[in-house]
Amino acid sequence: MTKKYSKWIWGIPLWILAIAFLAPFAWMISTALKPDVDAYKIPMQWIPDPFQWDNFSTVLSGATSVLPAFGRSVFVALLRVAGELITATMAGYAFARMSFKGRDKLFLLYLATAIIPAQLLLVPRFIYFQKLGLYDTLWALILPGMFTVLGTFLMRQFFVSQPAEFAEAARMDGANEWQVFTRIYLPLATPVMSALGILAFVWSWNDYETPLVLISNPDRYTLPLSLTNFVDEQGQIAPGLTMAASVISIVPVLVVFVVLQRRFIAAMTHTGIK
Amino acid sequence: MATATVVAAGTEARTAKGPGIRPSGWIGFLFIAPNLLGVAAFTLIPLISVVVLAFTDWNLVSGLGGITFNGIDNFVAIARDPGFWHAVGLTLVYVAVSVPLTVVLGLALAIALNRPLPGRAVLRAIFFLPYIVNVVAIGMTWLMLMNPKAGLVNQVLDAFGVQPGWFASSHWALPALIVMAVWGGVGYCSLIYLSALQDAPRQLYEAADIDGASAWAKFRVITWPALLPTTVFLLVTMIIGASQGFGLIALITAGGPGDATTTISYYMYQTGFQFYRFGYASAIGLVTFVGVLVLTLVTWRAQRGRALND
């Protein structure tokens, strides 16, 4: 009885805190559904009156639609995730489970570059992509994301922890190196690969700084950039449309988060300490 | 996020040998080649370039032919650049306030969320939510929430008789960014702490209970030492994150009002991509990187000293 009671002593204040914590999201949804004149009403009007569903139809159709940007974000994210998974898994496996000349030196080189912040590389990337004709194309966002040092580390850390006897047994049976990789170790790696895939997806989906620097044509905006498009005649942010588009931008990560919550949290904590 | 993985990998970089690992010759290299080529093209070459560019006065106007090396001129100029030092000061304030605040609140939240609670899984998810949302959606929302005249935040604060100007005021713009950073990061910290708390030594708590130790004593003697590596990890990654990001500032304040939110990363962004002074921006980036690296190492060392004393 006392146990149950104490559960609520902590539970109630924490739930109140959680609801306060959610207020910005509630405000976002509320504002997305009301006329702009009501956005700054005093006191705040949480339940829109009237409901203005038009905000959503405006940001989903016609010239103002965010759907093309949504599509570009999906395209960029899918290619980045696929590319990173393929190249990082192979490289991580080789660093962990194969031995060849210069491997350790190469790995040290990887270690050294891993702590370089992406922001430092933006100036040279900006110049290169202009020379290569990739500036202001989606490839400027996709290509660097397909080949990552961090993904390679994650995969290597996993493969290092796997028993080597599996490989010995497979080689006895006449498997070549590629078969040892694809048939023995790769199936074991699916949880780590899904964790890396989730992380890569979220990073790609939410990336604002890279396209801010490397994309200039509004016809090539990814979703985060396109959220800044909604301004009224005075150049002020249009609350209803901006919030409606913001809600739409959150849905995909939210779906991934809710559906794969366990994996998602494992991915976030795993990259850190384990 | 990257740092701990890197450190963990570095400590046993040479252990992956022994049974089952045979010399595979060039085949092993083939496995790495796709990743290595991409990393070389999009990370290594830009990295070398940024170091070289830092010793030039190149800008967009002078074109590729116009690159001239100017030795350490950029670095001398940085040392004398009041804009740079102003940005360094702002960044230090921003990092020194927002990072410890986020970590401490994250720890408190993790301890609260680590006990039996009604709907605990949902609670954890709620606090983590801001971390997975893109910075533009979050920035736009807070910009309107913190509208000085009619925003929700000031409507609530009205009860206390304070009406900060937030992003319209040069005094309140940086605090506004700090509020957003804490709100956005606290759930992530608590999530990382929660996973570390699972590994805290259970027998010690039981022994302490038998001895009749107070909750505070248990926290100080058992929990805090067990969480120390996690704390350092969070401090390091958040110091790096907080000192490098410019997206939110570019979106909301453009460094202003005046230069009230021109942090070092935004200063570099401005120099490189608004004034197109590539050489100078590269030098700023390099100096910042070294500065953050030193700050990170100091944090590591402080923890090592602490661990030895205990």
Domain boundaries, chain A: 2-52, 65-270
Contacts with A124 from chain B: Cβ below 8 Å:
45-47, 49-50, 53, 282
- What is the model's pLDDT at position A273? 36
Contacts of A157 (CB under 8 A, 6+ apart): A92, A96, B5, B8, B9
Cβ A97–B240 below 8 Å, yes or no? no
Phi, psi of B56 (to 5 degrees): -125, 165
Residue (of B125, B70, B13, B139) closest to A15 by Cα position: B125
Chain A CB within 8 Å of residue B106 CB: no
Domain A65-270 has CATH 1.10.3720.10: yes
Give the pLDDT mean for B163-177: 91
Would residue B36 count as lying in a domain? no
Tokens of B82: 């009041």
Give the pLDDT mean for B195-214: 84
Task: Decide if pLDDT at A213 tops 90.
Answer: yes
- For residue A117, how many other CB atoms are within 10 A of its CB? 18
- Coil/strand/helix, residue B12: coil
Residue (of A22, A242, A27, A253) closest to B137 by Cα position: A242
CA distance A58 to chain B (A): 17
Would residue B290 count as lying in a domain? yes
CA distances from A80 to A84, A146, A151, A201, B257 (A): 6, 5, 11, 8, 37
Q: What is the pLDDT of residues A61-108, one digit of tens each?
A: 888 899 999 999 999 999 999 999 999 999 999 999 888 888 888 888
Split at pLDDT 50, 70, 90, the class of A212 is very high
Who among A104, A166, A181 is closest to B13 (CB)? A104
Contacts with A243 from chain B: Cβ below 8 Å:
140-141
Split at pLDDT 50, 70, 90, the class of B4 is very low
Residue ranges making up the domain that contains B91: 71-309
Contact (CB, 8 A) for B226 and B199: yes
Would residue B287 count as lying in a domain? yes
Tokens of A259: 């559906």
Would residue B130 count as lying in a domain? yes
CA distance B168 to B144: 12
Cβ A125–B46 below 8 Å, yes or no? yes
Who among A93, A108, A131 is closest to B31 (CB)? A93
* CATH classification of the domain holding B269: 1.10.3720.10
Domain count, chain B: 1
CA distance A119 to B47: 11
Task: Decide if pLDDT at A223 tops 60.
Answer: yes
CA distance A159 to A96: 6
CA distance A195 to chain B (A): 14
Cβ B20–A94 below 8 Å, yes or no? no
Cβ A99–B28 below 8 Å, yes or no? yes
Would residue B26 count as lying in a domain? no
Cβ B45–A156 below 8 Å, yes or no? no
Tokens of B274: 């608004």
Give the pLDDT mean for B97-109: 95
- Coil/strand/helix, residue B211: coil
Would residue B217 count as lying in a domain? yes
Cβ A11–B117 below 8 Å, yes or no? yes
Helices (H) and strands (E) in chain A, counts: 15, 0
Cβ B5–A212 below 8 Å, yes or no? no
Contacts with B135 from chain A: Cβ below 8 Å:
206, 208, 224
B257 prior amide bond cis, ω within 30: yes
Tokens 């010793």 belong to B55
Chain A CB within 8 Å of residue B7 CB: no
- For residue A228, how many other CB atoms are within 10 A of its CB? 18
Radius of gyration of chain B from its Cα atoms, rounded to whole angstroms: 24
Cβ B281–A40 below 8 Å, yes or no? no
Q: What is the pLDDT of residues B237-295, one digit of tens each?
A: 898 888 888 999 999 998 889 899 999 999 999 999 999 899 999 999 999 999 988 88
Contact (CB, 8 A) for A124 and B54: no
The neighbouring-strand residues paired with A231 are A237
